[in-house]
Amino acid sequence: MDRTGRRLGLLAGLAWTAAFGCAAAGDPLYGTRPSPRAAPLRFAADPPRPQVVVALEPPPQPQPPQETPPAPAPTDPPPTPPADPATDPPADPPTEPRDPAAPSSDAPAAPRDPVDRQREQNELAFEGDYLRQKERLFPDHAGQWIAIVAGRLLPIDSRGRLAPTPDYAACLAAADAADPAALHRFLFRIGEEGDVVYSDGYATPRTMVGAALKQRFAITSSFDAAARAILWTRAGRSARFAVEREQIELRLSDPAGRAVVVTRVADSASFGGFLALEATFAGLLDAEKHEIPGRVLLRTGAGLEEARRARVRLAVPELELDELLPAAVWGD
């Protein structure tokens, strides 16, 4: 190679070294290495981001199958001891024949008495209707008659209002027209309703006539020991009653005079009422159709007794006495 070619190769080598070798060495001439006085290059970090944590319920894990305990092995029942052929089985206890008249525990309850059902209906009308207007009625109608039948107050005027009457027959006619088949009725004078209290020196309640009757009709009573008779005297008239077992005989009827009974009653000086009757006699006189609202409380030697109030009719022709009287009804 000639001198010119060698010179060109040397120049090319120097140029390559200058371009690539010095850059690789980091020659500061070319500015490829940062100055040691210069601040190192830093990268800005991203701002912190809030983290959201979501709790997830873990999926149910399959449970291992439960092992069923093995069933106990069947055991043979204990052998039954052989029955003793010589022993007879116990006999059933003897049964007593049942009385057909005796009440049975599984028998249906007896139906209520129809008289009691109607009495309850009339008592409700007395408490709810009559007592509500009693204060208005009493000043102008005290002592006049009214009736309570099938839960209604009678008599009624043309305007549908209660119209008490001074005539017992008119009140009875209104009651009969309202319900001829009624089994229970209240018929009474305004002001006489309610409870009354009496006493009697006898040990138990009895059928008797009392002091109120004699006082009301000015009757004087005396005892004739020789004749064993009781003498009643009134306005110059007298009536003699034979005494038998401490009782005298009186003629009683229902207020309308439709049923009449002759019964024996005691003439009591300690009983403060008019009359006291056993339920048997009162039933014959239809006392439940002529009942007075309220009760009779009687103090006897055995304690306090209770009776219903009703009305009967007493007739003593010798004394010209024929009156409607309140009575106590025992044993109802």
Domains of the chain: 114-189 (no CATH), 196-330 (2.40.70)
What does the buried/exposed string (b/e) look like for 57-87 if buried means 16 or more CB atoms within 10 Å of the residue's CB? eeeeeeeeeeeeeeeeeeeeeeeeeeeeeee
pLDDT band at 203 (very low <50, low <70, confident <90, very high): confident
pLDDT at 289 over 60: yes
Supply the mean pLDDT for the chain: 81
Task: Report the alpha-carbon distance of residue 56 to residue 72 in Å, rounded.
Answer: 45
| pLDDT of the residue at 23 | 45
pLDDT at 86 over 90: no
| pLDDT of the residue at 331 | 79
pLDDT at 81 over 80: no
pLDDT in tens, 218-274: 999 999 999 999 999 999 999 999 999 989 999 999 999 989 999 999 999 899 999
Q: Which of 332, 295, 331, 287 is nearest to 185 (CA)?
A: 287
| pLDDT of the residue at 35 | 47
| pLDDT of the residue at 82 | 58
pLDDT at 288 over 90: yes
pLDDT in tens, 32-73: 444 444 444 444 455 555 554 444 455 555 555 555 555 555
3-state secondary structure of 296: strand
H or E element, residue 12: helix 3-16
Q: How much of the chain, in percent, has pLDDT values that exceed 90?
A: 59
pLDDT at 28 over 50: no
- How far CA 25 is from CA of 28, 40, 131, in Å, comes to 9, 20, 133
| pLDDT of the residue at 39 | 46
The stretch 285-296 carries a mean pLDDT of 96
| pLDDT of the residue at 96 | 56
pLDDT in tens, 114-153: 999 999 999 999 999 999 999 999 999 999 999 999 999 9
pLDDT band at 204 (very low <50, low <70, confident <90, very high): confident
Q: Which residue has the higher pLDDT, 81 or 122?
A: 122
The stretch 169-179 carries a mean pLDDT of 96
Asked whether the beta carbons of 186 and 147 are under 8 A apart, the reply is: yes
pLDDT at 327 over 50: yes
Tokens describing residue 152 = 């209604």
| pLDDT of the residue at 70 | 56
pLDDT at 11 over 60: no
| pLDDT of the residue at 205 | 87
Q: Taking the complete model, does pTM exceed 0.85, yes or no?
A: no
| pLDDT of the residue at 301 | 83
